[in-house]
Amino acid sequence: MKTMEKSQLAPRALVRHLLLAWLIAATVEYLLLPQSVKSLTQLQGIGQMSLVRVLLLTLCGFGALTFLAGSYPGFLKAERWMFAGTFGLLSILALSSSYTTPFLLLCLLILGILVVYGLFGASDPLKKEKTLRGGALPPVLEKNSLIYPVLVGLMALGFVIAVSAWTVGRYKTFSTPTFDFGIFAQMFHNMKESGAPMTTVERDGLLSHFAVHVSPVYYLMLPIYLLFPSPVTLQILQPVILASAVIPLWLIGKRHGMSQLLRTLLCALLLILPVTAGGNYYDLHENCFLLPLLLWLMYAVDRQSTVLTVIFALLTLCVKEDAAVYVAVVGLYVLLRALTHRPGAHKKELWTGIGLLAGALCWFIVVTWYLRTHGDGVMTNRYRNFNYDGSDSLISVIKATAMCPMKTLFECVDKEKLTYIGQTVLPLLAIPLFTRRFDRYILLIPYILVNLMSDYTYQHSILFQYNFGSTALLVYLLAVNLSDLRRKLVPLCALVAAIVVSAGFFFQTVAPQIWYYSTLYGKYAPYYESVADTLDTIPDDASVTTHTFYGAYLSERAVLYDLRYCSREHLLSSDYVVIRSNTDAEVDRFGGFEALCALLEEQGYTLRTQNGTLVIYGK
């Protein structure tokens, strides 16, 4: 009896009690709402909920479950079924007030996973006598062959060439807008000149980019830029960084017992995923570092290497202020994974998880304080669908999720996100979702939080940079879930099928973009060269206000403003003004093209040159 009590009160059991208690508390809180405000399409119901009551109910439920677990040896199985029963009840309540077919299917999927848990329980890594530290399996005994690593290297090189042709083609055809590529192009120019990440175009005045987003990781790119100082260099470096992710992924596959053939297929899948190449569509962003760095971090924690874990955790935090979310989630995952082992057997992993979680939270607090007090503030308006109190605070998002988890699920499958889910989950055959190692579901948090919960359209588009971090964790889950399958043909067939499906999505969504911009410059090279020659007539030391699609090309100067966002004062203080004759949003704010030209001429500007729609005025 004492042995049973001890196992029932182990840390892993306490975590289980806490989660079930919270789920029951959230169900009770939702049940107490008047029917008129239960709809998940609005925030009125969440506004009437009480976080204090949810926390109190959770604590009471936790105490009751812990008592029952310690008193009745047979309670464990009943507790497993309580998860499915409670979630089933909560789903019925939510669906009765906010029914959509995708919401129903999501509820059924989660309920199915919980039913499997009720039937079989969680996977116990202690039953695998050959399990290594961190849950890794012994490598397959096979002769090492250079063919596979060379093949992976060639595939990575092909990825770099294809994506570089795309991104450089965008730059050469003046298709890269000032926001955001022109910002980074000017920032790197100033980093080369002074070492500081200063821009004038980002907020219409001289300002450090780190006052908007804290991204010191950009300094890793600076040595290459110093050798080849051009925006073209930046466009090439991003796919190089992304392709480098095959190195930690190869090592992760090896760590988890995959053969060289399986590792090669795994790397091929990463490179053909629509999100891997698709995130380059809007040019350089610091998020590209998340893909390799998070895979390196997962490799480091699997190896339980303190040095590597610290290095890659710090590098990940340097990507951006919100990168702390990824490190915190990895820390929580490592912490919960440690709790699934025999008490005291993995203290190092336990402290690693605590350290990662605490370090990420501390960094996030410090960096958000810096942005609020010395910078431009933290961008928190992308979760308006959760800000029930009108505060635009991330704390409101956390509170809303804690009080009403069904709101989170409902928002994840609204109509505009279904295509994105298909483009990101189906190429992986949804394998990251299926495992009996329930601690691994923690790694889905960034995908849910960053890509699905927000109502900011760009965060659930494969053509933007917000996918790289969640993709790294999804691919890691794919690798470790496949490694749990002991039948050799199953992982092989799964990876081949995933590559086929991913290739289908890739050639439907991303390949046309790559082909278009890769060939556009070649078709009209004389025209684009003439535009470049016309822009080159502007002296390098002149201040310029420019149309957005000329901003990146003109970025290698100290003072640059964007025509659409600059103040009248900065417009009229510029030495040159570069505009397009066709009327669009750039000139509408000045009353149209003719009105803008008249304003400039009244202020002493003269028409210096014109090349088609390109018009340059100078003082």
Once rounded to an integer, what is the mean pLDDT over residues 195-209?
96
Supply the DSSP string of 77-130, one letter for each residue. HHHHHHHHHHHHHHHHHHHHHS--HHHHHHHHHHHHHHHHHHHH----GGG-TT
Q: What are phi and psi of 442, to 5 degrees?
A: -60, -35
Contact predicate 383/377, CB 8 Å: no
How far apart, in whole angstroms, are the C-alpha atoms of residue 202 and residue 381? 18
Which tokens is 568 given?
A: 């009248």
Counting every residue written for the chain, the total comes to 619
- The confidence band for 436, taking pLDDT boundaries of 50, 70 and 90, is confident
266: closest CA among 494, 509, 506? 494
Predicted pLDDT at 356: 97
Res 587: pLDDT: 83
Over 60: is that where the pLDDT of 136 sits? no
What is the structure's pLDDT at 15?
Answer: 86
DSSP 8-state assignment for residue 530: H
pLDDT of residue 134: 47
Q: 150: which residues sit within 8 A by CB, 6+ positions away?
A: none
Asked if 20 and 86 count as a contact pair (C-beta separation under 8 A), the reply is: yes
**CA proximity to 26, closest of 95, 87, 113, 81:** 87
User: In this structure, are residues 34 and 44 in contact, taking their beta carbons and an 8 Å threshold?
Assistant: no
User: If we measure between CA atoms, which residue out of 280, 200, 205, 179 comes closest to residue 549?
Assistant: 179
DSSP 191-215: HHHHSS-EESTTTTSSEEGGGTS--
pLDDT band at 100 (very low <50, low <70, confident <90, very high): very high
Asked whether the predicted pLDDT for residue 251 surpasses 60, the reply is yes
SS3 assignment for 271-331:
HHCHHHHHCCCCCCCHHHHHHHHHHHHHHHHHHCCHHHHHHHHHHHHCCCHHHHHHHHHHH
Run of H or E residues at 582: none
Task: Report H helices in 426-510.
Answer: 445-446, 468-483, 489-509
What tokens does 614 get? Answer: 């390109």
pLDDT of residue 9: 56
pLDDT of the residue at 416? 86
pLDDT of 502-523, one tens digit each? 999 999 999 999 999 999 999 9
CA distance 285 to 234: 10
For the cut 80, the answer to whether the pLDDT of residue 378 exceeds it is: no
What would the mean pLDDT of 321-327 be, rounded to a whole number? 95
**Contact by Cβ (8 Å): 282, 273:** no
Residue 133: what pLDDT? 47
Q: What is the mean pLDDT of residues 237-244?
A: 98
Pairing mode, strands 544-546 and 560-562: parallel
Q: Is the model's pLDDT at 542 over the cut of 90?
A: yes
**Region 184-210 average pLDDT:** 97
pLDDT at 583 over 50: yes
Cα–Cα distance measured from residue 198 to residue 206, given in angstroms and rounded to the nearest whole number: 7
Q: What is the pLDDT of residue 294?
A: 98
Banded pLDDT at 161 (limits 50, 70, 90): very high
Has residue 129 got a pLDDT over 50?
no
- Per the CB < 8 A criterion, the answer to whether 309 and 297 are in contact is yes
8 Å CB contact between 103 and 410: yes
For residue 547, is pLDDT > 70?
A: yes
Q: Which residues contact 16 (CB under 8 A, 6 or more apart)?
A: 79
Q: Is the pLDDT of residue 534 over 60?
A: yes
Is the model's pLDDT at 607 over the cut of 90? Answer: yes
Both tokens assigned to 161:
């060439």
Q: What pLDDT, on the 0 to 100 scale, is given for residue 243?
A: 98
Average pLDDT over residues 7-32: 87
Strand partners, 544: 560, 576
Residue ranges covered by each domain of the chain: 2-121, 135-379+413-516, 525-618
User: Strand, coil or helix: what is 76?
Assistant: helix
Are 420 and 474 contacting, i.e. CB atoms less than 8 angstroms apart?
no
The per-residue pLDDT of the chain, averaged, comes to 92
Helix (H) / strand (E) element for 615: namely strand 614-618
Residue pair 462/432 in contact by the 8 Å Cβ criterion: no
Check whether 413 has a pLDDT greater than 70: yes
606 phi and psi angles, rounded to 5 deg: -125, 155
Q: Which residue has the higher pLDDT, 418 or 347?
A: 418
Q: Among 338-342, 429-433, 466-470, 476-480, where is mean pLDDT lowest?
A: 338-342
Nearest alpha-carbon partner for 248 in 315, 337, 340: 315
For residue 302, whether the previous peptide bond is cis, meaning omega lies within 30 degrees of 0, is: no
How remote is the C-alpha of 354 from its chain's centroid? 23
Average the pLDDT over 265-276 and give the result.
98
- At 423 the pLDDT is 96
Q: Which two tokens stand for residue 270?
A: 């990463």
Question: What's the token pair of residue 43?
Answer: 């925030």
**In this predicted structure, what is the pLDDT of residue 63?**
95
> What is the percent of the chain with per-residue pLDDT over 70, rounded to a whole number?
94
